[in-house]
Chains A and B, each alone.
Chain A
Amino acid sequence: MVALCFYFEVHQPFRINHYRIKEIGAHKTYFNEESNQNIFEKVAKKCYWPAGLLIASLLKRYPKSFKVTFSMSGTFLEQCETYDPKLLELYQDILSLSNAEIICETSHHSLAALIDEEEFYSQIELQRNNIKRLFNRKVTAFRNTELIYSNHIGKLVEKAGFQTCLLEGWDPYIPKGWNAHHIFHHPELQNLKLLPKSYKLSDDLAFRFSNQSWESWPLTTEKYHSWFEKLLDGNHEFVGLFMDYETFGEHQWADTGIFEFLDRFISNMTYDKRFEFLTVSEAANKFTARAPMDVNRPLSWADTERDISAWLGNRIQEDAFEKVYQLKKQIRYLNDESLTKEWRKLLTSDHFYYMCIKWSNDGDVHKYFSPFDSPYEAYLDYVNILEDFEMKCAEKVRLKDLAQGTIQELAQGNLGENKECTKTIQASSPQKKSSPASVKMGN
């Protein structure tokens, strides 16, 4: 028997506003409420609602035989709560069913695993709490942003308390003598099970389904089903069908027949006893890890390179990335809720994706998903916002230092002549922190 594991990634970023150099210091709002709401409502109408209703109905029609797994980013959940609470109820309904699972990711769909271990754990914690609060569920499996995974990230995932992690089933990294239709484990951590994506069968739906120049177009359920039958030779046990949820209705529009396809394919599969559906955790429990999977560089599910160059592949991306994580010091020091929230929204990987310059075939995909005219514009708006944000932090740092100075003085009881002097000293030190910005302005 071959197990099928559908996993859908649900995510929306908080897109930023245009921000010009002359606006640095004006503290305009960073996030484009209007565009975020419009896009959310558009995607909800095309995908989240119709796909959710279909999946809910499939889960209820086949309560024993159909299984599905979701991961929903914290930023998506926040937008869902704000823009369409009814939609959230639909997914709460879905996730109240025992044949649906939700797994964990970083709350802000961030790249923290690549640079900041502490922030990575913080976002996992946030996401755990989100899921507990909204769905009353405990998560046991993890997927990192864009399926980015390496041996090192595996260690972090394990440290965060997970024994299951999803990753790209990219051929060069599949253990020798095996194929992507098995479960593997971390080379050092035997307990961390790695579930690879079957990228060919997944991308047939996610990317190729409506492509008329694809030799298999149009893809019928029978044709797709027959490709799974080829896996019944005893050399395949687990097929990871991992894809963006927007595949249904947004990337592949309703008029391509994607919904009917999904409905029919799943229905047929549930009657075919040579196959079974499993959730991510069920699959991890059922199968033993067959071999160590050694991933010595960050592997992702994006582009033909399957690397991280879509987010960190050029100078502007690296600069923006470095700058935003440098702000963590101030964020930790201030421990200010609203600033931390803003900062985390700026960590979302999409902001870096919009700055991708690769204009190959892949680049076209990036262009389609970007709200910006060019990657350069994406970068400029972002770094201008960061500089404004840095100034905002510096002001708060100054206030905080001032307040602490006053408290100290109160405690010491010397509110007399020394006061003004102390004040000057305390207030001047944070100014140094903000000085790089003003020096740069002077260039």
Chain B
Amino acid sequence: MKILMLGWEYPPMISGGLATATEGLINGLIALGHKVTLILPYFPFQVKIPGLKIVSPENPFLLDEEFDILNQFHNSYTNEKQKNVLEIISQTYQEIENIIQNKGKKNNISHYNYTHIENELSQDERKNLEYNLKNHHKLINENIKYKHLKINLKPFSFSITNEINEKIYALGLLALDLLEKDPTYNIIHAHDWMSFTAVEMLHQKFEIPIVAHIHSTEIDRSGDIHNNQKILAIEKKGLEAADMIIAVSQYTKNVIIEKFGIINNKIKVVYNANNDQHNVSKRISSNVEQKNSEPHVVTFVGRITFQKGPSYFVFAAEKVLKINPNVIFKVVGTGDLLPAMKQLIWELGIHKNFIFEGFLNAQGVQDVLNSSSIFVMPSVSEPFGIVALEAIAKNIPVIISKQSGVSEVLNHAMKVDFWDTDLMADRILSILKYTPIRNELIENSLKDLSNRTWKHSAQTLVNAYSDFN
């Protein structure tokens, strides 16, 4: 099957769970023998994963023949075709990792930061963008064809004032261009609202079934009241236009039904999986034999925003410290509620037990989780919560809110209502106090995790696709 995916981010461009989920799902689909072309608004890298093409302003679309020729130039991967797919994937990531280390974080704007969404693009701006994009691709292609020419190419850039709208529109332009060259795709698979404008542009021109994949909705991100009406409208329109909707959990499916009025049987659930299963570390016993004098670390990872419930983490911490003062609470992430969170900690007089790590990259998060005793995810509304799976892969017990999608797939996590800080505190204290429960939680969660592979998720997705036949 040939799948055209409209995405937003892909490793190493990561601002949240979307990149990891997109990556995982694509890996799963490729492992099942499907071909994926992923369109991104910004991706200044090249991937060499058989079965995946990435198209972005930096990576023009190439037909298979062109693609092969190109790869002969870069002849690094043709010999490796026999190699294990996973191995090639991880090699590629290693290369990309290296590139990003050198390039820094320029242009890394996430969809969580959409202050400019209100400004519509004018007709001129659209035409301009289309022209610039085509021209840029032409130059790139010439560069490839006539290697010796080496035209000095400036990186493609969007307008500073209207970046998000331009990116959204660019996705549509790239997709239109691509489908004109190769209309043989079986499915258009669009991730979250940022790709729904493109969906609208394609919907009128092609008869390829459209699948909208919802990783989070504006309701999850901003709640019922202080949300962005424009984004809500885009989401609603996209959900209605799609032929099928994929939700990352039953929880999200319910939100889509209740808040967007979509009918039940149009929505299928495909759970996320864990990207790290090949490097799950075994350290159950060593982790337990922590010295009594060393404080235990209880960790929160996520954006410090309403959705993630940071204040409940603080209130639970206060209750924990009343009974067991020898605990450190680590906060990884940043966001609009960070100052308020710090103030609250000061007011409660528990600032000495808090460590703020700020925003960390994937490796940084892994390191913090590695040295933690417990992971807590007190989200108010969490469509899935892939980071809980990452924590499990690091052999630490997790406490997650019942208002999360991931709680549907974890049988051996402590589940609490996000507002029940009393119980949350009790569960933290319990896991620290009773070693047997800690070991059972870890061991059995790892079993849960090993059943939750991206290949399995991709299979569920492909089964859902088969409804179109």
A residues apposed to B, CB below 8 Å = 20-22, 314-316, 318-319, 357, 359, 373-374, 376, 379-380, 383, 440-443
A373 to B411, CA, bound (A): 11
Chain A residues with CB under 8 A of B324: 441-443
Residues of A within 8 A of B444 (CB): 357
Q: What is the interface of chain A mostly: helix, strand, loop, or mixed?
A: helix
CB pair B412–A22 under 8 Å, yes or no, is no
Closest to B325 in A: A442
Cα of A314 to Cα of B436 in the assembled complex, Å? 9
Whether A20 lies near B426 (C-beta < 8 A) is yes
Would you give the shortest CB distance from B294 to chain A, in whole angstroms? 11
With contact pairs A21-B323, A359-B411 given, residues A314 and B433 touching in the complex (Cβ less than 8 Å):
no
Distance in angstroms from A274 CB to nearest chain B CB is: 50
A376: which of B292, B322, B429, B440 is its contact (CB, 8 Å)? B440
Residues of B within 8 A of A20 (CB): 422-423, 426
- A-facing residues in B87-129 (Cβ within 8 Å): none
Report the Cα distance A298→B434, complex, angstroms. 28
B430 within 8 Å of A (CB atoms): yes
Residue pair B437, A380 in contact (C-beta under 8 Å): yes
Please give 7 more A-B residue pairs, beta carbons under 8 A apart, in addition to A319-B436, A442-B326: A20-B422, A20-B426, A318-B436, A376-B441, A383-B434, A441-B324, A443-B326
Given A20-B426, A22-B323, A376-B414, A315–B440 Cβ distance below 8 Å?
yes
> Once the chains bind, are A440 and B433 in contact (CB under 8 Å)?
yes
Instruction: Give Cα A316 to B430, complex, Å.
Output: 12
Q: Are B437 and A316 in contact (CB under 8 A)?
A: yes
Pick from B411, B432, B436: contact of A316, CB below 8 A. B436
| Contact indicator B411/A379 (Cβ below 8 Å) | no
Size category, B interface: 20 to 34
* B202-230 residues at the A interface, CB under 8 angstroms: none
A353 to chain B, nearest CB (A): 16
| Shortest CB distance B285–A (Å) | 12
Q: In this complex, which of A22, A376, A383, A442 has the most chain B Cβ atoms within 10 angstroms of its Cβ?
A: A376
A359 to B437, CA, bound (A): 16
Residues B434 and A380 in contact, CB atoms below 8 Å apart: yes
**CA–CA, A319 and B432, complex, Å:** 15
Check if B436 sits within 8 Å of A21, measured CB to CB.
Answer: no
11 contacts between A and B (CB under 8 A): A20-B423, A21-B429, A314-B440, A316-B437, A376-B414, A376-B440, A380-B434, A380-B437, A442-B292, A443-B324, A443-B433
Q: In whole angstroms, what is the CA distance A20 to B322 when docked?
A: 14
Instruction: Indicate whether B439 reaches chain A with its CB closer than 8 angstroms.
Output: yes
Q: Which of chain A's residues has its CB closest to B433's CB? A: A443
With A21-B426, A319-B434 in contact, do A443 and B439 touch (Cβ < 8 Å)?
no
User: In the complex, what residues of B have CB within 8 A of residue A374's CB?
Assistant: 411, 415
Cross-chain contact A357 with B440 (CB below 8 angstroms):
yes
- B413-460 residues with Cβ-Cβ distance < 8 A to A are 414-415, 422-423, 426, 429-430, 432-434, 436-437, 439-441, 444
Given A315-B440, A316-B440, A379-B437, is A443 in contact with B412 using a C-beta cutoff of 8 Å?
no
In angstroms, Cα B439 to Cα A376, docked, is: 11
Q: Do B430 and A380 touch across chains, with their CB atoms under 8 A apart? A: yes
Cα(A88)–Cα(B37), bound, Å? 73
Task: Tell me the complex Cα distance, A383–B435, Å.
Answer: 12
Mask for B359-387, Cβ within 8 A of A = 1, else 0?
00000000000000000000000000000
Smallest beta-carbon distance B63→chain A, Å: 49
A374 to B411, CA, bound (A): 9
CB distance from B412 to the nearest CB of A (A): 7
B316-336 residues with Cβ-Cβ distance < 8 A to A are: 319, 322-324, 326
> Which residues from chain B contact A443 at a C-beta distance below 8 Å?
292, 324, 326, 432-433
Query: With A and B bound together, what is the CA distance between A316 and B441 in angstroms?
Result: 10
Name the distance in Å between B290's Cβ and chain A's nearest Cβ. Answer: 10
Query: Closest CB-CB distance, A180 to chain B, in whole Å?
Result: 35
- Complex contact A21–B430 (CB within 8 A): yes
Across-interface contacts of A376 in B (CB, < 8 A): 412, 414, 437, 440-441
